[in-house]
Amino acid sequence: MLKYIMKRIALMFVTLFIIMTMLFVLIRMLPNQIPATQGGMDKALLEMRTAWGYDEPIMVQYGIFLKNIFTAWDWGFCTKMGAFLQPVTAYLVEKLPYTLYVNVFSMIIAVPLGIFFGIIAAVNKNQWPDHIIQVFIMIFISVPSYVVAFLLQYFIGFKQGWAPLVMSGGNNFFTWTMFHSAILPILSLAFAPIAGDMRLIRAELTETLTSEYMLLARTKGLTKRQATVRHAFRNSMVPLMPTFLADFSYVISGSLIIEQIFAIPGIGKSFLNSILLRDYSVFMACAMFYVAISLVAGIITDMSYGLIDPRIRMGGNKNNEL
């Protein structure tokens, strides 16, 4: 298992390096790179441009780029976003808490509710609770998160006035004011994962509840609730763990648009603005942030199989098992 994990981590870094190389080369080939004019602030810009090797061949530029990352964790400087010539790392550190705030709360809401209502639907299959949940699943699986965001913003925020239309830009994250201002984007991101988790848990748990070992558990004296919690639910979770981590990837990617709709000053909004304003250093750092999140989520998914079901061992040798 350890050997398998180390191999996956090594492959992750190789993948990161390949993607980063491709992004760097493609970005430096784009027009409208950093201007090199003299006078005033342009003089400081020219010095920064020279230090980063913008007048050198592209492979020399890439060498300087890698050296700055591995020695000083320096991803470049802002030219059109944030303060003039502000380090990209300092700029994104300011934006990261807002993105994490919305995404983490979305997962905190989505996963427990998806599990709870999925169990309710499976236990009450073909009864009225199951029918209501099925309607909810069909609606929110089909409707994109940005459409849900517009509907919530219009009806809940604008018409009823129950929540602010945009998220507060303050730094007091653990206050009711901040949470209240973020409730609409949180719900916009949470509805689709809730519906997806309910659908899969209902399907897996329904199949597990009708299996032979569940009948054996009932004949040994366990109540329906005990058999469901001790046996059926845990066995159903094995194929569902990738879904929960996929939910996080969905929420992270969905926040790119949601942050624009609710004016959240996070990394997702900065990512899109960096494309529009052609601030390539910010774009590069944001892109690698999302790539790293996706790759780490994949590794954690594989590791979770063995933690949930001890019978599963990744990277094992079949001859040794025999």
Give the domain range for residue 31: 2-72
Residue 38 has pLDDT above 50, yes or no: no
pLDDT attached to residue 250: 76
Is 84 part of any domain? no
pLDDT attached to residue 311: 57
Burial class (CB within 10 angstroms; exposed 0-12, middle 13-18, buried 19+) of 5: middle
Is 66 part of any domain? yes
Q: What is the mean pLDDT of residues 91-106?
A: 90
pTM: 0.80
**Beta-bridge partner residues of 87:** 77
How many Cα atoms occupy the beta-carbon half-sphere of 191 within 13 Å?
22
Spatial distance between the Cα atoms of 5 and 204, rounded to a whole number of angstroms: 28
Domain boundary among 13, 38, 72: 72
Is 100 part of any domain? yes
CA proximity to 183, closest of 153, 142, 143: 153
Share of the chain above pLDDT 70, in %: 80
Query: Domain tally for the chain?
Result: 2
How many Cα atoms occupy the beta-carbon half-sphere of 65 within 13 Å?
24
Spatial distance between the Cα atoms of 163 and 274, rounded to a whole number of angstroms: 29
Residue in the block written with tokens 């944030």: 82
CA proximity to 177, closest of 92, 101, 266, 260: 101
Query: Is there a single domain that holds both residue 12 and residue 102?
Result: no
Query: Is there a single domain that holds both residue 193 and residue 232?
Result: yes
Query: Is there a single domain that holds both residue 29 and residue 171?
Result: no
Specify the range with the lowest mean pLDDT, choosing from 27-31, 79-83, 92-96, 317-321: 317-321
pLDDT attached to residue 91: 92
The token duo for 293 is 């999140």
Query: Is there a single domain that holds both residue 68 and residue 105?
Result: no
Query: Is there a single domain that holds both residue 64 and residue 102?
Result: no
Residue in the block written with tokens 């009864």: 127
Is 81 part of any domain? no
Residue 18 has pLDDT above 90, yes or no: yes
**Beta-bridge partner residues of 77:** 87
Q: How far is CA 273 from CA 82, 260, 267, 305, in A?
A: 11, 9, 10, 38
Give 80 or 15, the one with higher predicted confidence.
15
Number of residues that make up the chain = 322
Residue 41 has pLDDT above 60, yes or no: no
Is 88 part of any domain? no
CATH number for the domain that contains residue 125: 1.10.3720.10
Spatial distance between the Cα atoms of 177 and 158, rounded to a whole number of angstroms: 18
Is 87 part of any domain? no
Residue 302 has pLDDT above 90, yes or no: no
